[in-house]
Structure 1
Amino acid sequence: MAESDPHAKRGPGRSWNELALQDTNGVPDYLLADYEPDLGDEPLDVSRFVSRAFFDLEMERMWPRVWQFAAREEEMPDPGDTVVYEYGEKSFLLVRQADRTIRAFYNACLHRGRKLRLTGGKVKDLRCPYHAFTWNADGSLKTIPCRWDFKHLEGKDMALPEVQVGLWGGYVFIKEESGGMSLEDYLAPLPDHFRDWRPEECYTVKWGGKVLKANWKVCMEAFIEAFHVIATHPQILPFTADTNSKYTLFSDHTNLTITPFGVTSTHVPAADREEQWVIDQFLKYNGRVVEPGMEVVVNEGETARQAMGAFNRKRFGKMIGRDISHVSDAEVQDAFTYNVFPNFSPWGGYGPAVVYRWRPWPDENHTLMEVRLIQRAKPDETPPKCPEMVLIPEDVDWEPMFGQLGAVLNQDMANIPHVHSGMKALRDGKVELAHYQESRIRHWHRTIDKYLAGEL
């Protein structure tokens, strides 16, 4: 995509690039690059979110052709370990092989179609609970009970059908249809951007999910723009420069929002923007326990952003057992919210990271939203066993599991089902978008259209 004018005016105040150029340490050049193609201002038709016919087209022409984040490798560390990955009405079974590779099969018995497994776990083979048809871990047929009654299957390929598997950064991806882009090309430029952040060294700390009464796109779109902060998350405005976020559209399959922290929103009156006040508000909201020698004090001539950068370099460096004194303020405090089409969002940076995933569950009116926290293991540290996803009931808050992040998620959840139901009440059936701050939403809909038209 062509680069836009990097000096194009955005919201009031300093742009993220201007803030980054004042960092204590240099920001990687790739984060300063601008990729902002003009996608126009046409409204979106509401049928894209609420129509069963549109949903069926996505399921037929888009989902089978995209790379989907199916698991983290720590979910299946040893040969024989399995993971069940599902979306819509489809189910897949990932199996760690004896040679430590991972293969993925359609999760259905080739006899009567019963799911081979309902959950992950360790197996020696894949045995159907209904009639005991059994396959080896590599998908080859092992046993047909009463084989004398299935002479018509002799000579027929009875291996479990497979889908493509790709690995990057500790993440396991699957793709149903063969051909198309390699995973590396599909993810670009994430592998380059994350090289120093090392997601392959991370492990899952917490993992929760909740079924939401909304289309998968309604859920996903709530987390790819910072425009909603002023109304939905006003408590973070003292230390979050929401309107100064940077939106970058890399390719058909990847984009990024960078939201600066340690800077007060332009929505907050100027009189309240003393630098120490910004830090104090951040610590108050996040409930940080400051260890001796790790106080966050803004020295004369220093900004809150620089002070928080210095604090986090010490804190995160100690947490991961690495010297990160050389890294930028941005990489230890800003929200680097990457998205990989259609439903995978890993956060970048050096601190503990958030990973989002959204899956149709199972129709156009419901979505399984998952939130996973990962953190990097120290050198020679043996990570704990990966926790299973906790399915949080609809009427239970996220906060008990995720703390302050959960409080923010609760605020988002208060919007999402009502966005979906409200769309059905739109008189003209049109959804309007901000030109810049919601450009990532329009970007994803352009990609959907390309898949539906057979261009990708």
Structure 2
Amino acid sequence: MSNTDNKTLKAAGLARASGPTIADTLQADGNPPPAPLLESHYEFLGDNDIPTSRYTSAEFEQQEMQKLWPKAWQWACREEHIPDAGDSYVYDIGNYSIIIVRVDEHTINAYLNSCTHRGTRLLAEEGSNYSPGFSCPFHGWSWQVDGTLNPLPGQWDFPHVANGSHNLQAVKCEQWGGFVFFNIDPEAKPLADYLDVLPEHFSHFPLDRRRIKVHVQKILPANWKAAQEAFMEAYHNFETHDSPTGANAQYDIFGKYVSRFIHNIGNYSPQSLSDYPGDKWREPPLTEQQLLEMLAIEDRVLAEGETARSVAAQTMRDTMSSSLGVDLSTCSDSIMLDSIEYHLFPNMFFFPGIAIPMVYRFRPMGNDVDHCIFDMMILEPLAEGASHPEPPEPIKLSVEQSYTEAEALGWLGSIYDEDTGNLQLQQQGFKTTRKGLTLGNYQEARIRRVHLTLEEFLGSH
């Protein structure tokens, strides 16, 4: 804590923007949301600055590599990446490489991607593979997909290799929401302990009935934490996106591992904008018709009493129900429209929405503290009764490339360019400043929660 009086700190954490809250908006919707979206869980977590060395120090990055990534649950792939026995997926995180393999219809295993003879990496490239087993390219040692070692070349010289002593090195592996997770730590707590409220909340919008429509993988010029933090608050909307929305976003802290924001789409609060300089969005206030046009619905004239939010939600229900073959008639306005983002420590984001149906993952790029890999997938609702199609290969973009080069993203490409366009400047600024990062008590509380949990990993594991 800082030197500020503790009572004052708690009071500061209760401050909010003026105008209607997210709860006010959701309760006014014609199609009300499921109960989890009406919950509010805020916790004041302090107001100390975050040291910039956490983003720039090679020593700090090495601590993460030793104490965070081998200890935290992470998703490696989707189940549809490995639909049949023998299908495997290689996932790399910093120094570590993991093989996920489907052994049979009901069993998925995970192994360290390393030969138990002299350590050679078994599968060279990240991504999908198929093989009835695994073979080392150096000396030809080989294993079944269940990890058991086959008879050795020159078996006579290895009497000490017997009774399962050199099977592939197993890694904890569990599934949730159609994702395959792993944890390298043999003593790791079950995934359920990590997921906290996610299984209950996402029971209302199951992710296992989604398919990967688009997968874009881009190198970003910033530390993985800085990159993901750009997506953890809506405070940047006014400047970065030149948008009047975001002031009244709701931020929830469910525990050490899970947090959330809810950001309404299709309305805004002129009152809340009084908390921000400039009159661009306040004088005169936007009309409902103008708000509808901002949502790219320009051929519909609102009748008296209609709102842009309700009409946009219904328009989307009609359009997407038809195009996807999914019944969305009972889907709430909020799930149809809003940006609802859950974060799972350390680096995973899950969106339950229909218009904004992404998942994100941020990870170090090898041992390069100044760059990271950002995986973004759009998970589209799967038609009722349909099987998961083969997932698309990731569209890979370099640091220099624009998201607009991934044509499958459509209008989202320019938005992601805006979201990530400040990262190089921020990473450079980290190395110049004499002070740490100052966080808002409410709007940036999710960022602070990540750092507090990170401290626990680095200090106690």
Deviation per CA, 1:246-281: give whole Å up to 9, x if none. Answer: 000111110001111001364412414100111112
Asked if the contact 1:279–1:308 (Cα under 8 Å) also holds between the matched residues in 2, the reply is yes
**Aligned residue identity for 1:379:** E
**Aligned residue identity for 1:212:** L
Q: Counterpart in 2 of 1:276?
A: 289
Q: Counterpart in 2 of 1:207?
A: 215
**C-alpha displacement of 1:425:** 0.5
Deviation per CA, 1:66-95: give whole Å up to 9, x if none. Answer: 110111111111110000011001101011
CA distance in 2 between partners of 1:270 and 1:310 (Å): 29
**C-alpha displacement of 1:434:** 1.2
**C-alpha displacement of 1:110:** 1.6
Q: Counterpart in 1 of 2:129?
A: 121
Q: Counterpart in 1 of 2:433?
A: 426
**Aligned residue identity for 1:166:** E
CA distance in 2 between partners of 1:315 and 1:11 (Å): 34
Q: Counterpart in 1 of 2:277?
A: none
Asked if the contact 2:148–2:164 (Cα under 8 Å) also holds between the matched residues in 1, the reply is no
**C-alpha displacement of 1:351:** 4.1
Q: Percent identity?
A: 32
CA distance in 1 between partners of 2:161 and 2:46 (Å): 56
Deviation per CA, 1:28-49: give whole Å up to 9, x if none. Answer: 2222222111112111111111
SS of 1:71's partner is strand
**C-alpha displacement of 1:226:** 0.7
Normalised by the size of structure 1, how large is the TM-score?
0.91
CA distance in 1 between partners of 2:335 and 2:303 (Å): 21
Q: Which of 108, 111, 114 is 1:108 aligned to?
A: 114
Alignment of 1:45-124 (within 5 A): 45-119=51-125, 120-124=128-132
TM superposition outliers: structure 1 runs of 4+ over 6 Å: none
CA distance in 1 between partners of 2:162 and 2:284 (Å): 82
Q: Counterpart in 1 of 2:419?
A: 412
SS of 1:209's partner is strand
**C-alpha displacement of 1:296:** 4.3
CA distance in 1 between partners of 2:46 and 2:104 (Å): 51
Asked if the contact 1:78–1:96 (Cα under 8 Å) also holds between the matched residues in 2, the reply is yes
Deviation per CA, 1:267-316: give whole Å up to 9, x if none. Answer: 41241410011111220xxxx7x9xxxx6442211221111122222223
Q: Counterpart in 2 of 1:197?
A: 205
Q: Counterpart in 2 of 1:18?
A: 24
**Aligned residue identity for 2:291:** V
Q: Which of 444, 447, 453 is 2:453 aligned to?
A: 447
SS of 1:65's partner is coil
SS of 1:339's partner is strand
Q: Does 1:260 align with 2:260?
A: no
Q: Which of 20, 36, 45 is 1:39 aligned to?
A: 45
Asked if the contact 1:197–1:350 (Cα under 8 Å) also holds between the matched residues in 2, the reply is no
Q: Which of 406, 410, 430 is 1:403 aligned to?
A: 410
Asked if the contact 2:94–2:363 (Cα under 8 Å) also holds between the matched residues in 1, the reply is yes
SS of 1:93's partner is strand
**Aligned residue identity for 1:427:** R
**Aligned residue identity for 2:78:** R
Change (3 A) 1:270 1:181: farther
Q: Counterpart in 1 of 2:357?
A: 353
Q: Which moved more, 1:385-394 or 1:317-326?
A: 317-326
**Aligned residue identity for 1:143:** P
- Structure 2: which 5+ residue stretches go unaligned? 1-9, 274-280
Q: Does 1:313 align with 2:317?
A: yes
Q: Counterpart in 1 of 2:276?
A: none
Q: Does 1:247 align with 2:268?
A: no
